[in-house]
A = this chain, B = another copy of it.
Amino acid sequence: MILPLDRAVAELVRDGDTVAMEGFTHLIPVEAGHEVIRQGRRDLTLVRMTPDIVYDRMIGAGCARRLVFSWGGNPGVGSLHRFRDAVVNGWPRPLELEEHSHAGMANRYAAGAAGLPFAVLRGYAGTDLVGRTPTIKPITCPFTGEELAAVPALNPDVAIVHAQRADRSGNVQMWGITGVQKEAVLAADRALVTVEEVVDELEPVPGQVVLPSRVVSAVSPVPGGARPSYAHGYYVRDNDAYRAWDAVGRDRDRFTAWLRDEVFGAAGGPRTPDRAPGEDREEQTA
């Protein structure tokens, strides 16, 4: 149940899988993404509401064949250049897109978590997403006759999220902005949770979401594993690192060098606390 990150990724993430790494700005499983890159996974369908820099890196590293998403930007900064390069130029390989809105994606996860084949929402009407995205279909209310939008459930092969804590039985506790992580984990066949720490007892915290161990396949202790995103109560969002990513991601060579130094350079499993990922920021922005 509690496994080092490299073993957990090796066991749970397979070539060709549909992988959902969630975390809405907060608690993004960045280090787990780096481990997937290190292990050279290919042909993944990456699912995520806000691809963010973790998917920018995975796409740039060639892990992904397809992206299911709703907003692919660098929050507060601008574009994701590796994502753009893959979509516009097919580098390092073409990237198929399946685009939804946030509301659609959130409801797709919720349907997946609930064992339903689809979800219903007031959404998409009049937008060009309707024609472009085959996973949006009309549905009529059997009581009022209103037409609404239906979207199919998302049921990833594996969900990966980051949380503040787990206990030794693998019960997971997160708090602060918890996004759609609960739904992503419940919707997936397998779930990997990286955590800041493993503790004896999960002291209740206001706003907490607890994922019972029976829906968690593996917990990996990865302190700092969300950096440059943040872990409420542990460290703050490294906004400078997000800004600095713009220049790195913009240039193929610079990105490739970054990948070599910062991801493969740290090979051999997850980084240890004495060399937390956040400490690389200075090099990264240099």
List chain A positions with a Cβ less than 8 A from chain B: 115-122, 135, 137-139, 141-144, 146, 148, 150, 152, 204-208
Point out the residues of chain B lying under 8 angstroms from A148, CB to CB: 116-117
How distant is the Cα of A159 from the Cα of B116 in the complex, in angstroms?
Answer: 28
Q: A116-B120, A142-B150 are in contact. List 4 more A-B contacts (CB 8 A).
A: A115-B122, A117-B148, A120-B120, A135-B143
Of all chain B residues, the one with the shortest Cβ separation from A115 is: B122
Point out the residues of chain B lying under 8 angstroms from A116, CB to CB: 120-122, 148
How distant is the Cα of A206 from the Cα of B115 in the complex, in angstroms?
Answer: 28
In-complex Cβ contact of A143 among B120, B143, B150 (8 A): B150
Point out the residues of chain B lying under 8 angstroms from A118, CB to CB: 120, 141-144
Protomer copies: 2
Point out the residues of chain B lying under 8 angstroms from A115, CB to CB: 122
Of all chain B residues, the one with the shortest Cβ separation from A138 is: B142
Point out the residues of chain B lying under 8 angstroms from A152, CB to CB: 143-144
Of all chain B residues, the one with the shortest Cβ separation from A140 is: B139
Could you jot down 21 A-B contacts, CB within 8 Å? Answer: A116-B120, A116-B148, A117-B141, A117-B143, A117-B146, A118-B141, A118-B143, A118-B144, A119-B120, A120-B120, A135-B143, A137-B142, A137-B143, A139-B139, A139-B142, A141-B150, A142-B150, A144-B152, A204-B207, A205-B206, A206-B208
How distant is the Cα of A280 from the Cα of B254 in the complex, in angstroms?
Answer: 77
**CB–CB A117/B138 < 8 A:** no
Of all chain B residues, the one with the shortest Cβ separation from A137 is: B142
Point out the residues of chain B lying under 8 angstroms from A139, CB to CB: 139, 142
Of all chain B residues, the one with the shortest Cβ separation from A121 is: B116
Of all chain B residues, the one with the shortest Cβ separation from A149 is: B142
**Smallest CB separation, A137 vs chain B (Å):** 4
How distant is the Cα of A106 from the Cα of B148 in the complex, in angstroms?
Answer: 21
**Smallest CB separation, A164 vs chain B (Å):** 14
How distant is the Cα of A115 from the Cα of B135 in the complex, in angstroms?
Answer: 22
How distant is the Cα of A208 from the Cα of B207 in the complex, in angstroms?
Answer: 7
How distant is the Cα of A135 from the Cα of B143 in the complex, in angstroms?
Answer: 8
Q: Which 5 A-B pairs have the closest CB atoms?
A: A204-B206, A137-B142, A117-B141, A143-B152, A117-B144
How distant is the Cα of A115 from the Cα of B120 in the complex, in angstroms?
Answer: 11
**Smallest CB separation, A114 vs chain B (Å):** 8
Which of A121, A204, A205, A207 gathers the greatest number of chain B CB atoms within 10 Å?
A207
